[in-house]
Structure 1
Amino acid sequence: MFGAFRVSTPALGGLLWKNPWRLSATRKSRARERLRNVDELIATVAATSTSSTASPHSTILQRALALPTERQMSARDKYTTFSMRSKGYRKSVHKVPKWTRLTLRENPRGF
Protein backbone atom coordinates (compact mmCIF):
# COMPACT_ATOMS: atom_id res chain seq x y z
CA MET A 1 0.00 0.00 0.00
CA PHE A 2 1.75 3.12 1.25
CA GLY A 3 5.05 3.63 3.01
CA ALA A 4 8.43 2.01 2.62
CA PHE A 5 7.14 -1.26 1.15
CA ARG A 6 4.73 0.03 -1.48
CA VAL A 7 4.39 -1.84 -4.75
CA SER A 8 6.57 -0.61 -7.61
CA THR A 9 6.16 -1.01 -11.38
CA PRO A 10 8.83 -3.72 -11.71
CA ALA A 11 7.25 -5.66 -8.86
CA LEU A 12 3.95 -5.59 -10.73
CA GLY A 13 5.59 -7.11 -13.81
CA GLY A 14 6.27 -3.87 -15.67
CA LEU A 15 9.40 -2.68 -17.43
CA LEU A 16 12.46 -3.81 -15.53
CA TRP A 17 15.33 -3.10 -17.93
CA LYS A 18 15.18 0.36 -19.42
CA ASN A 19 16.78 -0.41 -22.77
CA PRO A 20 15.86 2.07 -25.53
CA TRP A 21 14.40 0.53 -28.67
CA ARG A 22 16.69 2.50 -30.96
CA LEU A 23 20.28 3.68 -30.80
CA SER A 24 20.81 7.33 -30.01
CA ALA A 25 23.11 9.47 -32.17
CA THR A 26 25.85 9.41 -29.53
CA ARG A 27 25.70 5.62 -29.15
CA LYS A 28 25.89 5.30 -32.94
CA SER A 29 28.93 7.54 -33.13
CA ARG A 30 30.65 5.63 -30.34
CA ALA A 31 29.88 2.33 -32.11
CA ARG A 32 31.47 3.71 -35.29
CA GLU A 33 34.46 4.90 -33.28
CA ARG A 34 34.91 1.43 -31.76
CA LEU A 35 34.79 -0.12 -35.24
CA ARG A 36 37.43 2.34 -36.46
CA ASN A 37 39.63 1.57 -33.43
CA VAL A 38 39.44 -2.15 -34.19
CA ASP A 39 40.29 -1.47 -37.85
CA GLU A 40 43.28 0.60 -36.79
CA LEU A 41 44.47 -2.12 -34.42
CA ILE A 42 44.19 -4.81 -37.12
CA ALA A 43 46.12 -2.61 -39.56
CA THR A 44 48.83 -1.98 -36.96
CA VAL A 45 49.21 -5.67 -36.16
CA ALA A 46 49.31 -6.54 -39.87
CA ALA A 47 51.96 -3.91 -40.51
CA THR A 48 54.18 -5.07 -37.65
CA SER A 49 53.88 -8.80 -38.31
CA THR A 50 56.88 -9.73 -40.42
CA SER A 51 56.79 -13.51 -40.13
CA SER A 52 55.28 -15.16 -43.18
CA THR A 53 55.31 -18.65 -41.68
CA ALA A 54 52.03 -20.37 -40.96
CA SER A 55 51.13 -20.13 -37.30
CA PRO A 56 47.87 -19.97 -35.33
CA HIS A 57 48.33 -16.22 -35.01
CA SER A 58 48.69 -15.73 -38.74
CA THR A 59 45.39 -17.50 -39.42
CA ILE A 60 43.66 -15.27 -36.87
CA LEU A 61 45.24 -12.24 -38.51
CA GLN A 62 44.15 -13.37 -41.97
CA ARG A 63 40.60 -13.82 -40.73
CA ALA A 64 40.69 -10.36 -39.14
CA LEU A 65 42.00 -8.82 -42.36
CA ALA A 66 39.14 -10.45 -44.28
CA LEU A 67 36.54 -8.58 -42.17
CA PRO A 68 35.07 -5.46 -43.77
CA THR A 69 36.29 -2.13 -42.43
CA GLU A 70 33.97 0.44 -40.92
CA ARG A 71 33.92 2.46 -44.16
CA GLN A 72 33.00 -0.63 -46.21
CA MET A 73 30.10 -1.62 -43.97
CA SER A 74 26.59 -0.46 -44.72
CA ALA A 75 24.62 1.30 -42.01
CA ARG A 76 22.42 -1.76 -41.76
CA ASP A 77 25.42 -3.92 -40.87
CA LYS A 78 26.89 -1.37 -38.46
CA TYR A 79 23.80 -0.98 -36.33
CA THR A 80 21.93 -4.28 -36.71
CA THR A 81 22.84 -7.93 -36.64
CA PHE A 82 21.26 -11.19 -37.74
CA SER A 83 18.83 -12.75 -35.29
CA MET A 84 16.95 -15.90 -36.14
CA ARG A 85 14.18 -15.15 -33.62
CA SER A 86 13.53 -11.50 -34.51
CA LYS A 87 10.92 -10.27 -36.93
CA GLY A 88 12.70 -9.58 -40.21
CA TYR A 89 15.71 -11.57 -38.94
CA ARG A 90 17.56 -8.43 -37.81
CA LYS A 91 17.86 -6.86 -34.40
CA SER A 92 19.51 -3.71 -33.17
CA VAL A 93 23.11 -4.26 -32.18
CA HIS A 94 22.63 -2.78 -28.71
CA LYS A 95 20.15 -5.54 -27.85
CA VAL A 96 22.96 -8.13 -28.13
CA PRO A 97 24.62 -8.94 -24.80
CA LYS A 98 28.18 -7.56 -24.57
CA TRP A 99 27.81 -5.92 -28.00
CA THR A 100 30.67 -3.49 -27.36
CA ARG A 101 33.11 -6.39 -26.98
CA LEU A 102 31.96 -8.66 -29.82
CA THR A 103 32.77 -8.54 -33.50
CA LEU A 104 29.35 -8.40 -35.14
CA ARG A 105 30.59 -7.73 -38.67
CA GLU A 106 29.69 -11.10 -40.15
CA ASN A 107 26.12 -11.96 -41.09
CA PRO A 108 24.74 -14.91 -43.05
CA ARG A 109 24.63 -14.41 -46.80
CA GLY A 110 21.44 -12.61 -47.79
CA PHE A 111 20.78 -11.10 -44.37
Structure 2
Amino acid sequence: MFGAFKPTSVAFGGLLWKTPWKLSVTRKANARARLKKVDAVIEAVCASGVQCKALDHAMLLPKEHEMDPKDKYTVFSSTARGYRKGIHKVPKWTRLTLRVNPKGF
Protein backbone atom coordinates (compact mmCIF):
# COMPACT_ATOMS: atom_id res chain seq x y z
CA MET A 1 0.00 0.00 0.00
CA PHE A 2 1.21 3.44 -0.83
CA GLY A 3 -0.02 6.92 -0.02
CA ALA A 4 -1.52 8.42 3.11
CA PHE A 5 -2.59 5.09 4.61
CA LYS A 6 0.72 3.32 4.38
CA PRO A 7 0.94 0.68 7.16
CA THR A 8 3.53 1.24 9.85
CA SER A 9 5.28 -1.25 12.10
CA VAL A 10 2.88 -0.32 14.91
CA ALA A 11 -0.09 -1.09 12.67
CA PHE A 12 1.48 -4.48 11.95
CA GLY A 13 1.42 -5.38 15.65
CA GLY A 14 4.49 -3.71 17.11
CA LEU A 15 4.50 -2.40 20.67
CA LEU A 16 2.82 0.95 21.00
CA TRP A 17 3.68 1.60 24.66
CA LYS A 18 7.00 0.22 25.80
CA THR A 19 6.57 -0.09 29.55
CA PRO A 20 9.63 -1.51 31.33
CA TRP A 21 8.99 -4.56 33.48
CA LYS A 22 10.48 -2.96 36.59
CA LEU A 23 10.79 0.54 37.99
CA SER A 24 14.03 2.39 37.46
CA VAL A 25 15.93 3.87 40.41
CA THR A 26 14.78 7.36 39.42
CA ARG A 27 11.11 6.37 39.20
CA LYS A 28 11.34 4.66 42.60
CA ALA A 29 12.84 7.81 44.12
CA ASN A 30 10.10 9.93 42.56
CA ALA A 31 7.44 7.57 43.93
CA ARG A 32 8.92 7.82 47.44
CA ALA A 33 9.10 11.61 47.19
CA ARG A 34 5.47 11.71 46.04
CA LEU A 35 4.40 9.59 49.04
CA LYS A 36 6.31 11.89 51.41
CA LYS A 37 4.65 14.97 49.90
CA VAL A 38 1.22 13.40 50.38
CA ASP A 39 2.10 12.62 54.01
CA ALA A 40 3.13 16.25 54.54
CA VAL A 41 -0.15 17.54 53.07
CA ILE A 42 -2.20 15.19 55.27
CA GLU A 43 -0.29 16.35 58.36
CA ALA A 44 -0.75 20.03 57.43
CA VAL A 45 -4.50 19.61 56.92
CA CYS A 46 -4.80 17.75 60.24
CA ALA A 47 -2.87 20.50 62.01
CA SER A 48 -5.25 23.14 60.61
CA GLY A 49 -8.16 21.55 62.45
CA VAL A 50 -10.26 20.48 59.48
CA GLN A 51 -12.49 17.45 60.09
CA CYS A 52 -13.97 15.33 57.29
CA LYS A 53 -14.51 11.70 56.40
CA ALA A 54 -11.81 11.66 53.72
CA LEU A 55 -9.25 13.02 56.19
CA ASP A 56 -10.19 10.34 58.74
CA HIS A 57 -9.62 7.70 56.06
CA ALA A 58 -6.28 9.29 55.06
CA MET A 59 -5.09 9.20 58.68
CA LEU A 60 -5.54 5.40 58.72
CA LEU A 61 -3.22 4.91 55.74
CA PRO A 62 0.40 3.97 56.50
CA LYS A 63 3.07 6.63 56.16
CA GLU A 64 5.85 6.26 53.58
CA HIS A 65 8.45 5.19 56.16
CA GLU A 66 6.04 2.59 57.62
CA MET A 67 5.39 0.85 54.29
CA ASP A 68 7.22 -2.26 53.10
CA PRO A 69 9.11 -1.84 49.82
CA LYS A 70 6.84 -4.53 48.37
CA ASP A 71 3.82 -2.32 49.10
CA LYS A 72 5.52 0.86 47.87
CA TYR A 73 6.41 -0.43 44.42
CA THR A 74 3.88 -3.19 43.67
CA VAL A 75 0.11 -3.69 43.84
CA PHE A 76 -2.09 -6.76 44.09
CA SER A 77 -3.20 -8.24 40.77
CA SER A 78 -5.21 -11.44 40.52
CA THR A 79 -4.01 -12.01 36.95
CA ALA A 80 -0.28 -11.44 37.43
CA ARG A 81 2.16 -14.21 38.25
CA GLY A 82 2.80 -14.08 41.99
CA TYR A 83 -0.30 -11.87 42.38
CA ARG A 84 1.77 -8.68 42.22
CA LYS A 85 2.55 -6.18 39.49
CA GLY A 86 4.55 -2.96 39.43
CA ILE A 87 2.77 0.27 40.32
CA HIS A 88 3.84 1.78 37.01
CA LYS A 89 1.62 -0.77 35.20
CA VAL A 90 -1.51 0.69 36.87
CA PRO A 91 -3.27 3.40 34.82
CA LYS A 92 -2.89 6.85 36.42
CA TRP A 93 -0.74 5.37 39.22
CA THR A 94 0.67 8.77 40.18
CA ARG A 95 -2.81 10.02 41.08
CA LEU A 96 -4.12 7.01 42.99
CA THR A 97 -3.66 5.99 46.61
CA LEU A 98 -2.00 2.60 46.32
CA ARG A 99 -0.83 2.34 49.92
CA VAL A 100 -3.10 -0.48 51.08
CA ASN A 101 -2.61 -3.94 49.59
CA PRO A 102 -4.07 -7.28 50.63
CA LYS A 103 -1.97 -8.85 53.36
CA GLY A 104 -0.31 -12.22 52.99
CA PHE A 105 0.90 -12.00 49.38
Give the C-alpha shift of residue 61 in structure 1.
1.3
For these two proteins, the number of residue pairs brought into alignment is 105
- Mapping for residues 98-109 of structure 1, pairs under 5 Å: 98-109=92-103
Q: Give the whole-Å Cα distance in 1 for the aligned partners of 2:4 and 2:50.
A: 66
* SS of residue in 1 equivalent to 2:64: coil
Q: Secondary structure at the match of 1:15?
A: coil
Alignment match, 1:75: 69
CA distance in 2, matches of 1:100, 1:44: 21
Please tell me the root mean square deviation across aligned C-alpha atoms, in Å.
Answer: 1.9
The Cα of 1:8 is off from its aligned counterpart by: 2.9
Corresponding residue for 2:18? 18
Q: Partner residue of 1:63?
A: 57
| C-alpha spacing 1:12/1:71, structure 2 compared with 1 (3 Å) | same
Instruction: Give structure 1 regions of 4+ aligned residues with deviation exceeding 6 angstroms.
Output: 1-5
Q: Structure 1: which 5+ residue stretches go unaligned?
A: 52-56
